[in-house]
Structures are given as C-alpha cells and as structure tokens.
C-alpha cells in the first residue's frame, strides 16, 4: 500500500518551497527543544536553593524528558491527521504555558517544578511533528538528507545549556523562561503564517486509537524502535552521563568534562544529516551496518579505559559520529518505507523508544561501577548490544525491507529502498 501513500513526491522534486518548509520545521524543532531543556542546566541550582536530594534533582530533569518522549506517540498520530502546519504552532503555544508558570511562579518548591516540568514535556513532542511534515515535502530519493537536516534541530538543547545559567545570573531567575516564551510565541506566529502542508498529503480517516493500533502492527515500527533506541538512546545517554564518566574515570575538572561533552554533542549533531545523505545514496541498511560496526569498535576500545589523549578521545568521537549518523539513517529508513499517512504515528513510537532508550545506559553504567569500581563492563555490554543490533539490521530489517519492496512491485510502480536487496 506504499504506492499511493507517497504524498508530496511529485510536487517537491524541485523549487524553493520544500527547502523553506524544511528551514521552518528545523527552526521550530530547535526552539521547542531549547524550551524542553530549560530545567536541566538549573538542576544544581534547585538542589542548593530547595535543599533537594540527588534523586529529587534527577527527577526534576527527568520528568520533561519522559513526558516529551512518550508524548510523541499521540502527537505523531495527530500530525498525520491535522498536518504540521497546524501542529507546529499548537505545540509551540502549548509549551509557552508551562514555561511562564515555571518562570513566574514555579521555582518555589519541588512540587511546582514537577508540575511545570510535566507540561514542559510538550516541547519535546515536536520531533514527531517535524518528521512526517518534512517527509511529505521531499521525494524518497532526497528524504534521508532532508530528515537529517531537520534532525540538526536537536541542537536546540545546546542553546539551553549555553545560555540558561548565564541569563539567570545576569538577569534573574525568570529571564531564560520569559525570553524562551517570547521566542516560541514569535515562532508560532511565523509558522502559522508561512508554513504549508505538502500538496497531496494523505489524510487518514480512521480514529486515533485505530491508527495507533494499526501502526503498532507494522514491522517497520518495531524495527525502527530498536534501531533508534540504540542510536539516539546512546546519544542521549552519553550526553547526560559523559561529564560524570570523565570526572570519575579520568579525574577531569567539571568545566573540562562539560566542554568535552559539548564536543561529543556537536559531532553527533553534525553527523545526523550526513547519515541521512549517505542513506539516500547507499541505502539505510549499509549505513546502519557501518554505524553499529563503528559503535562496537569504539565501545570495545573504551571498555579498557585507555589514555584519554589520543585513543580515548578518538573512541568517543567515533562513537558520537556513529550515533549521530545512525539516528539520521534510522529516520531515512522510516521516511522511505513507512506508509506516508502513518509516518507521524510511526515517528511517535520510534521517537519515544529513542528518548526512553537514553535512560537505560546510565543506570547500567552506574550499576557496574558500583559493583566493580570500573565502567569497563558497561561499555563492553554496549559493544555486545551494538553487535546484536548490527546482526538484527542485516537479518530481520533487511528481510522485511526486501519483502516490502517485492510487495510494492507486485502492486505497481514504487520507489525502492536502496541497499536492501
């Protein structure tokens, strides 16, 4: 059924409008992720001011992430139904409410921070809006690069990391929240005025529950969930845990560890569109195979805790490049294979898997360190998972993609997925 569902292909093969829509979507992704990550840099400040325990501080940071990850499931399905032109402004406006609540009244207690953080998670759902919106504007041959470029918007978290604490010190505790709310409001107006859904977009008619049930039965949904949980989940895990790892394993100062973590994030963000670009030319399957091979090698090397310069740095940056490229290649696969009227629903489930996948590795690393006094076993387990995912990619994912191509060819002309046969 993939043939008629490829909306937007005929109208987006040229011209400026697809690129304008991509730019607006990427901007919306970055701005909403900036808002989504506001509480994380302020965690130590809240711990000191409110007398919180380490677990309570972690909870403040975790609540928006969990809500933003799980919330992608219904938001993705709603995007299939109403389109990105409506959902981008809606998500942005809805995120303004908890931002203003936290900025003006919600920093006085743990309870108010948790309430505000819960609804702040809405900002993290924007990922499930952008993937189907961008997919509909580009033909399959260009979709991987387009989705990878959209993924650069995840760098919005870096804006929060670089500006939030500085704004609080210079302008007061409300400043970063009021500024972000203003930027979101401006973006919502721009998006409403200038965004357009792709002509010919397929609009599903089934109820939300029925569509989510149908999406859960697609093999691409669960295959991509596994691939993204390892790729993007690994990125999230290292982004959260790398400073603590570097301080414990190598004795680095906090500032030095934070700067190296920033380098890891930048490499991963830059490599996301590269992974999509290679997927357009070589096919997602070969790219994902290479990604998990590099991740395996990097994890094996780092499991022995080599000297940080140069071997440890090379291992970490190689893993960053692999995780970023793997995130881009996964959604290149989704964009090429998933039925166009279910891309949002598939994206919601896959995005949730990636976000939640980032919480498992830090727990595992902490467990092994507590038991053995070394992170080596945790990194060795990452290598095992990467190998298993590489085998999974070249067996179940390749076989399912080949079968989908064969079914599509029997049903009529369709765009094949390169690298799967």
Residues 23 and 144 in one domain: yes
Range of the structural domain that residue 230 is part of: 207-421
Q: Which of 89, 35, 22, 127 is nearest to 347 (CA)?
A: 127
DSSP symbol at 404:
H
pLDDT (tens digit per residue) in 144-176? 888 889 988 888 877 887 788 889 889 999 999
Residues 178 and 41 in one domain: yes
Is 43 or 224 the better-scoring residue by pLDDT? 224
Residues 182 and 263 in one domain: no
Output the domain CATH number for residue 307.
1.20.1250.20
Residues 216 and 108 in one domain: no
Residues 16 and 161 in one domain: yes
Judge whether 273 and 410 are in contact, CB under 8 Å. Answer: no
Residues 150 and 36 in one domain: yes
Domain boundary among 173, 203, 233: 203
pLDDT (tens digit per residue) in 377-399? 989 999 999 999 999 999 988 88
Residues 169 and 218 in one domain: no
The predicted structure's pLDDT at residue 409: 57
Residues 221 and 363 in one domain: yes
Q: Which of 287, 260, 300 is nearest to 381 (CA)?
A: 300
Q: Which of 18, 274, 277, 272 is nearest to 151 (CA)?
A: 272
Residues 198 and 220 in one domain: no
The DSSP result for 274-322, as a single string, is: HHHHHHHHH-HHHHHHHHHHHHHHHHHHHHT---IIIIIHHHHHHHHHH
Element at 171 (helix H, strand E): helix 156-171
Element at 269 (helix H, strand E): helix 254-282
- What whole-number distance in Å separates Cα of residue 32 and Cα of residue 164? 14
| Model pTM score | 0.76
User: Mean pLDDT of all residues in the chain?
Assistant: 84
Residues 223 and 173 in one domain: no
48-80: burial string, b at 16+ Cβ within 10 Å, e else: eeeebeeebbebbbbbbbbbbbbbbbbbbbbbb
- What whole-number distance in Å separates Cα of residue 352 and Cα of residue 264? 22
The predicted structure's pLDDT at residue 13: 46
Judge whether 324 and 235 are in contact, CB under 8 Å. Answer: yes
Judge whether 122 and 76 are in contact, CB under 8 Å. Answer: no
pLDDT level of residue 142 (50, 70, 90 thresholds): confident
pLDDT (tens digit per residue) in 197-256? 998 887 877 777 787 888 888 888 899 999 999 998 888 778 767 877 887 888 887 667
The predicted structure's pLDDT at residue 334: 83
Residues 110 and 34 in one domain: yes
Domain boundary among 168, 203, 238: 203
Domain boundary among 162, 188, 203: 203
Q: How many domains does the chain have?
A: 2
pLDDT level of residue 193 (50, 70, 90 thresholds): very high
Residues 85 and 121 in one domain: yes
């Amino acid at each position: 059924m993939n043939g008629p569902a490829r909306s937007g292909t005929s109208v987006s093969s040229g011209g400026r409008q697809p690129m304008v829509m991509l730019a607006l979507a990427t901007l919306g992704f970055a701005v909403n992720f900036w808002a989504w990550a506001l509480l994380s840099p302020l965690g130590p400040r809240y711990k000191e001011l409110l007398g919180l325990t380490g677990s309570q501080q972690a909870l403040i940071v975790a609540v928006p992430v969990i809500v933003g990850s799980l919330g992608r499931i219904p938001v993705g399905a709603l995007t299939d139904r109403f389109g990105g032109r409506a959902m981008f402004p809606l998500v942005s406006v809805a995120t303004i409410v908890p931002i203003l609540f936290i900025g003006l009244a919600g920093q006085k207690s743990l309870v108010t921070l948790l309430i505000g953080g819960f609804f702040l998670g809405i900002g993290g759902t924007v990922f499930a809006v952008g993937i189907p919106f961008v997919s509909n504007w580009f033909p399959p041959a260009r979709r991987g690069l387009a989705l990878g470029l959209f993924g650069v918007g995840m760098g919005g978290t870096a804006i929060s990391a670089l500006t939030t604490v500085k704004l609080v010190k210079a302008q007061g505790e409300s400043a970063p929240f009021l500024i972000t709310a203003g930027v979101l409001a401006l973006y919502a107006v721009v998006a409403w005025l200038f965004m357009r859904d792709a002509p010919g977009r397929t609009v599903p008619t089934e109820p939300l529950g029925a569509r989510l049930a149908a999406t859960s039965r697609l093999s691409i949904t669960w295959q991509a969930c596994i691939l993204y949980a390892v790729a993007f989940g690994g990125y999230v895990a290292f982004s959260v845990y790398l400073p603590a790892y570097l301080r414990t394993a190598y004795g680095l100062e906090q500032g030095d560890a934070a700067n190296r973590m920033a380098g890891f994030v930048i490499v991963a963000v830059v490599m996301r569109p590269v992974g999509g670009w290679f997927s357009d030319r070589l096919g997602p399957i070969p790219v994902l195979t290479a990604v998990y091979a590099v991740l395996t090698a990097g994890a094996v090397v780092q499991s022995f805790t080599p000297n940080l310069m140069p071997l440890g740095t090379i291992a970490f940056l190689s893993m960053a490049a692999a995780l970023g490229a793997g995130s881009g290649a996964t959604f290149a696969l989704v964009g090429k294979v998933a039925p166009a009227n279910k891309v949002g629903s598939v994206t919601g489930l896959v995005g949730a898997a990636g976000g939640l996948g980032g919480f498992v590795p830090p727990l595992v690393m902490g467990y092994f360190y507590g038991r053995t006094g070394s992170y080596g076993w945790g990194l060795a387990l990452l290598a095992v998972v990467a190998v298993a995912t590489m085998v999974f990619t070249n067996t179940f994912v390749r076989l399912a993609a080949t079968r989908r191509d064969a079914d599509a060819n029997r049903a009529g002309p369709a765009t094949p997925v390169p690298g799967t046969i």
